[in-house]
Amino acid sequence: MTVIRSDTPGQPLAWPQLILVTAGAYVAFIVVKTAYSYWKKVHTPLRRLPGPKGGHFFFGHMRQLLDSDTLAAMHGWAAEHGDTYVIRGIAGAYQLVTTDTRALTHILFASNIFHKSEGRRKQLEALLGKGLLFSEGERHRDQRRIMNPAFGHAQVRDMTETFLATAAQLCELWNDRCNDAGGTARVDIFDWLSKATLDIIGKTGFDYEFNALNDNGTRNELAQAFDFVLRQKLSRWAQASILINEYVPTLAMFLPNPLSRNMANGRAMMDRICTKIVQAKKQEILAELGGHVEKKSVGGKDLLSLLMRANLAADVEPSQRLTDLEVLDQIPTFIMAGHETTRQVILHATQTTWALHKLSLYPEVQRKLRAELLDIGTDMPSLDELNSLPYLDHVARESLRLNGAVGYLGREVFEDDAIPLGAPMVDARGNTISQIKVQKGDGVLIPIRLVNHSKAIWGPDADEFRPERWEHIPSGASSIPGIAPNLMTFIGGPRSCIGHRFATAEFKALLFQIIRRFEVHPAIDEAELSGRSGLVIRPQLRKDNSTQLPILITPVA
């Protein structure tokens, strides 16, 4: 046994000295661990692949993905280096980027090997708790198994009336604006669609009234908490802190986090309100059904009711049930996924925003779509009726392809693997290879928008908005590993977007009501607009970096 001694023979170390020795040993351990991790990351087999040179000495090429148009950056690298290449991440780590659909299929379906990094999961836990977006492995499968019934076709069909009614309410407010303006009004569709989709996810998600469209300048308390957590303006240091937390968590331990306190305060507020919602919903279900719950039991049709009914069902193994905390953490997940992603499909802000923007630029497409929508003899069609409209479906798919709200997803390799390629490639040393070797700790970026814009798949006009392409889908698109056929937008595999039916139905309902009632025209020049990268790709005006997307609306005569 080793005895720690002081400089004076026979005398043990005093407590201050012992603390200093222990702290020094701990710091030395962290330094050695970080140095070894760095050495492993820069001596990966990925270093043999082609890729862009340069980049920031510490942040590599990651700043380019955040500071500029993500798609433009990845397009430029792919044009120079091919479908598969590497970029440098934080502290020199290599990040694999590929549009090879066989490789992507392997990455997405081998979820035991490729999943979120621990740093990324900690960030998601701070934002959303231990919900579906946080969980991995067996616990993710349990949560998904319980939640799947709430997102089925029949359940989304029942929610369509709420989608349409909220969209109609939005149109009435826009009509008032047009009347006040004498015919044509300028509106920020990103802001308005944000309010509409927040109201929709509140009602359909957990039977909660946000009243965002009728806020009269006063935000609902839960909406305020949500904004506090997820809508903070990020300074340069805040963005850097997020990257360091995700990719070098040991280093992040010693750095101040400018977001942690705000997130903690916002999360505490959200948890307090959501706990009341969950407790009330659970008591309501048990009282209604006398303590015996079946998955097929009737009752509330919001997502939370359906989720809790499935979770409390007698045929669910106790070990597979979600804890009350996990149920609670699904609420901010519902808000984040249902509110953020769908909102910009219409115009270029999170999905509904970007689509409207495109329609404002293509008046012939807009007129053709409006003619089809006006042929429906009702303002409140069923989901089956919406899905029977071919041109609406083509416009929706083309908008989802071109303007998906998420540019790319990050994964970490958790065990050594060999990723098969659909087509051989030449590495940086001139060797032809048919698989890519990766080692534990390597990073992978799944380039969602790059795949959706691939000229190899979609042809030379891949960057153009042309809904008619969906009448004759290119054969190569069938290899895209997405849960929505021929699209990478909702990804595929065990971690594909569980709410893809919800998002598509909501998107179609919003377009149905808006395009039937309004002509939309550009309010700004296309050159004034950019897509700001981040958790989602939002519209931003170049002149002042404000998040908005103004368009002109005129009621249909």
Give the annotated binding-site residues for heme: 497
CB 84 within 8 A of CB 423: no
Dihedral sign for Cα 70, 72, 76, 78, please.
Answer: positive
Question: Which alpha helices (H) appear in 131-235, and where do they start and end?
Answer: 137-147, 153-181, 189-206, 221-230
- Alpha-carbon distance of 492 to 483, in angstroms, equals 5
Dihedral angle over CA of 490, 223, 410, 86, nearest 10: 100
Dihedral angle over CA of 5, 8, 11, 17, nearest 10: -60
Work out the burial of residue 413: count CB atoms within 10 Å of its CB; fewer than 13 is exposed, 13-18 middle, 19 or more buried.
buried
- Alpha-carbon distance of 13 to 3, in angstroms, equals 10
Q: Please spell the DSSP secondary structure of 341-385, one letter per residue.
A: ITBBTEETSSBHHHHHHHHHH-HHHHHHHHHHHHTSS-SS--HHH
Token readout for 85 is 């290449």
Tell me the binding residues: 497
- Alpha-carbon distance of 145 to 321, in angstroms, equals 10
- Alpha-carbon distance of 22 to 184, in angstroms, equals 71
Q: What angle do CA 112, 337, 340 make, to 5 degrees?
A: 135
Place of tokens 């280093």: 251
Q: Please spell the DSSP secondary structure of 479-523, one letter per residue.
A: GS--SSTT--TT--STTS-TTHHHHHHHHHHHHHHHHHHEEEEES
Token readout for 205 is 């998600």
CB 91 within 8 A of CB 41: yes
